[in-house]
Chain A
Amino acid sequence: MQSIAEEAALRCEGITKAFQGVHAVNGAAFEVPRDKITALIGPNGAGKTTVVNILSGSMTCDSGREFLGEAEVTNWPSHRIARMGLMRTFQLSRELGGLTVLENLLVAPARQPGESLLNVFFRPRLVKRQEREDVERALSVLDTYGLYQLRDNRASELSGGQKKLLEISRAVMASPKILLLDEPMAGVNPALVERICGYIMDLKRDGVTVLMIEHNLNVVETICDHVIVLAEGRTLATGRLSELRENVEVVRAYLGEVIDASSAS
């Protein structure tokens, strides 16, 4: 039996997905190594977000298989996959607008006793105790991400950068084993990019496997251990970024796209 360290945290094979006859994903297959930060890169339209949607359960695939560790989770609905410890963020931040920042995080933990009607009425002390624990942890997480001052603000009132941070901290609050980040640096100013990179590296140190879709190759170079290149809905190559830069096919796939780090936002 493989040791935990060698087994891929997340693995997919032969994933296809077509929309009205057009194949967005056409045979994607890759492994996401445990406890590492992996980047999923590729030109626009390569199917990266679709793959993440499929892996997280928001969409079903037409064919293919997906594994979390040893368990097959192909086409499981998103809430079941989330329960297995896979959390994701969205490219365009989706905050729970009617709730406060703190409440956004309080929704995240799985299996809260307070979500059961019976507990609410017959075990109120248990519910209260768990809620206090969650609140303390949430306030800490908010503090780490610099959102503590905004804890009582309505989430819809946050700025774009703050919503990004909320998106990530909310996923973190759910104690994920695997975290899928969909373009975490999109539309974010350079200083915030550095901070988020710091957070992601801290997550890795704490034992979270990270897979991130990213266009900013500077970021990929800095923090990612492993890179998967997707093009035309198919896995083109995997490995370290330095190797991939030499890969003719990869360069060709990116033709017309600027790889120059200095102009990457």
Chain B
Amino acid sequence: MTLFWLSVGFGFVTASVLAIAAVGLSLQFGITNYINFAYGDFMALGAFFAYVLNAEVFHINIWVALVLGSLLMGVLAVFINRFLLSPFVRRFQRTFYVLIVTFGLSLILLNLEYSIWGADVRFYQTTISRAIHIGPILLTKDQLIVMGIAVVLMLGVHAMLKTTRLGKSMRAMADSTTLAMTSGIDTKRITTITWFISGTLAGISGTVLGITEGNLTPASGELFLFVIFAAVIVGGVGSIYGAMAGALLIGLATEISAAFINPAYKLDTAFVILIITLLVRPNGLFARPGIA
């Protein structure tokens, strides 16, 4: 039974990483109406920015490096949107093309990372800490901090969406871009800000993934991407809260399943849940109507 509770603990950690990533993806999708297939590589890139700051160049504290690296990724995301993705969206009405572009971007970013850092496994410089008991759950200080970051970010996103003008504009755009435009919302500005947030959240989730997994390679993000997709689809595409719920469900399910099946396949459990969801409740838990 202890194994079960240990898994639950890990489940919350995975759910935390997933939640940050899934919300970042969902926010961007809600505004732009297409999925960024290079998102996994955004995660990895942000993680590598933090790595450079933390373990190579400046030897900054990992948490500070996390913040700086992720913000840098956010800025890069804005540039990528401005000079690559947005032009394609404006030119071609169908989402086909920009999807292929993001797929291509994924290939480019991944291989650029390989070129610069190689395929070797990297490690963050973080202090090894003792595990802490919380009831039957056993977690390290780093894992607890990660969970804390996730909770803070979720609350922050929730507060932003509900109370700030920016959040309301984002929600309006997610509902209908044309309507938002005619209401006087500066859609370009909101789009830019959304990409910044999405890129930053990708960077944060990539970095915490590296921290919780204990290692980092350029492909880490891509390999994790389908788990994020699963969380987003299970939660209901287009819904931010759905993404959070999906992350929790998938995070717990994958870790708990590791207690029963070969842990090498625990991530594939996410895929099984995705398939079941598609068969039984294709719109997900909190889907917005008219989307899928």
Chain A residues in the interface with B (C-beta under 8 A):
19-20
Chain B residues whose CB sits within 8 angstroms of the CB of A20 once the complex forms: 289
Inter-chain CA distance A19–B291, complex, in Å, is: 12
Chain A residues whose CB sits within 8 angstroms of the CB of B290 once the complex forms: 19
Query: Which 3 A-B pairs give the minimum distances between C-beta atoms?
Result: A20-B289, A19-B289, A19-B290
3 examples of A-B residue contacts, CB within 8 angstroms: A19-B289, A19-B290, A20-B289
Q: How far is the CB of B21 from chain A (nearest CB, A)?
A: 28
Inter-chain CA distance A20–B289, complex, in Å, is: 8
> Which B residues, 274 to 292, have Cβ-Cβ distances below 8 Å to chain A?
289-290
Inter-chain CA distance A19–B289, complex, in Å, is: 8
Chain A residues whose CB sits within 8 angstroms of the CB of B289 once the complex forms: 19-20
Chain B residues in the interface with A (C-beta under 8 A):
289-290
For A20, give the chain B residue with the smallest CB separation. B289
Chain B residues whose CB sits within 8 angstroms of the CB of A19 once the complex forms: 289-290
Q: How far is the CB of B125 from chain A (nearest CB, A)?
A: 50
Inter-chain CA distance A194–B163, complex, in Å, is: 54
Q: How far is the CB of B72 from chain A (nearest CB, A)?
A: 39
Inter-chain CA distance A20–B286, complex, in Å, is: 13
Inter-chain CA distance A20–B290, complex, in Å, is: 10
Inter-chain CA distance A19–B290, complex, in Å, is: 9
Q: How far is the CB of A264 from chain B (nearest CB, A)?
A: 25
For B288, give the chain A residue with the smallest CB separation. A20
For A59, give the chain B residue with the smallest CB separation. B290
Inter-chain CA distance A20–B238, complex, in Å, is: 15
Inter-chain CA distance A244–B290, complex, in Å, is: 36
Inter-chain CA distance A240–B242, complex, in Å, is: 51
For B93, give the chain A residue with the smallest CB separation. A97
For A18, give the chain B residue with the smallest CB separation. B289
Q: How far is the CB of A121 from chain B (nearest CB, A)?
A: 30
Inter-chain CA distance A36–B289, complex, in Å, is: 37
Q: How far is the CB of A47 from chain B (nearest CB, A)?
A: 16
Q: How far is the CB of A84 from chain B (nearest CB, A)?
A: 26
Q: How far is the CB of A87 from chain B (nearest CB, A)?
A: 24
Inter-chain CA distance A19–B175, complex, in Å, is: 13
Inter-chain CA distance A20–B175, complex, in Å, is: 12
Inter-chain CA distance A19–B176, complex, in Å, is: 14
Q: How far is the CB of A155 from chain B (nearest CB, A)?
A: 15
Inter-chain CA distance A98–B290, complex, in Å, is: 26
Q: How far is the CB of A14 from chain B (nearest CB, A)?
A: 22
Q: How far is the CB of B207 from chain A (nearest CB, A)?
A: 38
Q: How far is the CB of A91 from chain B (nearest CB, A)?
A: 16
For B289, give the chain A residue with the smallest CB separation. A20
